[in-house]
Amino acid sequence: MKCPAVVLGVVLFASTVSAQSSFNGPRLPAAPAAAVTGELASAPAAEPLLFAEASPVRADAAFTAVAAAPVAFPEAEPAAAQQGPFPIGTRGFYNWQLYAGYTFFNFYEVPNLHNVENGVDMSVTYYPGGGWIGGEGDLMATLGSQSGYASTFTLASGGVRFRWEAPRGTQLWVHGLIGRSHFLPQTAYGGQSALGYVMGGGIDVSRAGWRRLALRLEVDAVGTRFFGTYQYSPKVSAGVIFKF
């Protein structure tokens, strides 16, 4: 009994091996590695989609959003403090003015006799509140010669001054002063002192960078009463102003 069973098992094993060989069939040769690499390189690799594609934004909608956004402007600085009719710190309208300059004076003593003199003119002016009207004090001193002798003329006076702002950093002004004058040498016509007064005007020129300085040109008529008669003598002065 064992022998036929062994034979039957061998026959079944052989049949099974033969069936597996016919099912698999012959194997195809493997494709070259270079060819496979070329095909893969030519086909674009699809990248994984990590994020959803953003929807396009319309240009007109973006512009509308920007235009509608509130715009913040810096607050305007407070206007410069005012002092009278003139702004403080603009054009150099300070309360006080000091002036010193050269003076040419042609003193008409009596008919057919005049004396040309040169000297200095100094004044101080105060404008209350930086306004257009101020009080002024002036001292004039000149030196000349007459008949071979040295001659001097001095005039200390005070009064009022009115100013007006002109374009390009200039001021126009007029003034009227009254005081006491003194003349040397002594003459046979009368005393050495007399009432004196000044009436005239001028222009002060200040450049943009000159906050405290200005140039002045002044023309006046000086009236006196020496030797029992009246004198009306011209005076021209030019100099520098300091403001504070």
Domains and CATH numbers, the chain: 96-243 (2.40.160.20)
28 has pLDDT over 50: no
84 has pLDDT over 90: no
Residue closest to 103 by CA, chosen among 243, 224, 222, 244: 222
76 has pLDDT over 60: no
90 has pLDDT over 50: no
100 has pLDDT over 90: yes
Average pLDDT over residues 87-91: 42
pLDDT of res. 141? 97
pLDDT of res. 205? 93
220 has pLDDT over 80: yes
CB 125 within 8 A of CB 99: yes
pLDDT of res. 231? 92
Confidence of residue 240 (pLDDT cuts 50, 70, 90): very high
24 has pLDDT over 60: no
CA dist., res. 184 & res. 214, Å (int): 34
CA dist., res. 83 & res. 128, Å (int): 9
CB 175 within 8 A of CB 200: yes
pLDDT of res. 99? 98
Contacts of 165 (CB under 8 A, 6+ apart): 86, 91, 93, 171
Average pLDDT over residues 108-136: 92
Contacts of 200 (CB under 8 A, 6+ apart): 174, 175, 218, 219, 220, 221, 235
200 has pLDDT over 60: yes
176 has pLDDT over 90: yes
CA dist., res. 97 & res. 127, Å (int): 9
**Considering the chain, what is the average pLDDT of its residues?**
76
